[in-house]
């Protein structure tokens, strides 16, 4: 029984740590209830048998955790940007088009000139090359902006927890 109680204690700690894999808004809302549910399941398992039953429970919970983390992360990615923070949404809406427009106007041609090393290019070749660079940098800017937006709640939570 002592072994059983120990296994429950460490199982709870480990499960609590694993809950950090969920997106922040989901974790903040449901992690205490999920931990309580897991605790209840552990006690149920111990009533039915010894530590082996807790191991079987862990196998089931691991599968459930993997599937649900992937699902919730997926949902979090397709959630409208700035849905929870309107100000953040405005920044994203203004920031992304601004970055794309700015680099279309300036960065593409500048990069073409730099890579070309001052060599003389035909005008159509110059437009094509600078267009390619503009598109590549624009795509990177959009991707970076989305990643930053998605990481913002995690960073905020991390700052709050570490304060």
Partner 1 sequence: MNKQSKSNVAEKPVEHFLPLTPAVFHILLTLADSEAHGYAMMQEVTRRSGGTVRLGPGTLYGAISRLLEDGIIEESEERPDPEMDDTRRRYYRLTKLGGRVLAAETDRLADLVRAARSTKLVRKLKPA
Among 4, 7, 11, 38, binds partner 1 (CB under 8 A): 38
| Cα atoms in the Cβ-side hemisphere of radius 13 Å centred on 90 | 3
**x/- site string to partner 1, residues 44 to 73, per CB under 8 A?**
----------------xx-xxx-xxx-xx-
Cβ pair 16, 42 in contact under 8 A: no
Helices (H) and strands (E) in the chain, counts: 6, 0
Minimum CB distance to partner 1, residue 131 (Å): 41
| 8 touching partner 1, by CB under 8 A | no
If the CB atoms of residues 2 and 87 are measured against partner 1, the closer one turns out to be: 87
Residue 145: other Cβ atoms inside 10 A = 18
Question: Using CB under 8 A, which of 9, 13, 29, 48 touches partner 1?
Answer: 29
Distance CA 33, CA 26 (A): 11
Query: Is-contact 66 74, C-beta < 8 A?
Result: no
Near partner 1 in 68-127, by CB under 8 A? 68-69, 71-72
Q: Which residues bind partner 1 (CB under 8 A)?
A: 22, 26, 29-30, 32-34, 36-38, 40-41, 60-61, 63-65, 67-69, 71-72
């Amino acid at each position: 029984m002592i072994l059983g109680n120990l296994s429950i204690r460490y199982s709870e700690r480990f499960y609590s740590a694993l809950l950090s894999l969920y997106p922040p808004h989901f974790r903040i809302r449901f992690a205490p209830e999920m931990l309580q549910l897991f605790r209840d399941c552990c006690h149920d398992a111990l009533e039915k048998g010894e530590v082996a039953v807790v191991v079987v429970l862990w196998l089931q919970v691991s599968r459930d955790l993997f599937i649900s983390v992937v699902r919730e992360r997926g949902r979090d990615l397709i959630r409208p940007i700035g849905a929870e923070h309107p100000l953040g949404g405005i920044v994203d809406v203004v920031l992304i088009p601004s970055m794309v427009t700015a680099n279309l106007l300036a960065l593409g041609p500048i990069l073409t000139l730099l890579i070309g090393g001052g060599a003389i290019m035909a005008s159509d070749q110059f437009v094509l090359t600078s267009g390619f660079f503009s598109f590549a940098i624009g795509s990177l800017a959009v991707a970076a902006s989305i990643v930053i937006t998605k990481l913002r709640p995690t960073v905020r939570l991390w700052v709050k927890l570490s304060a």
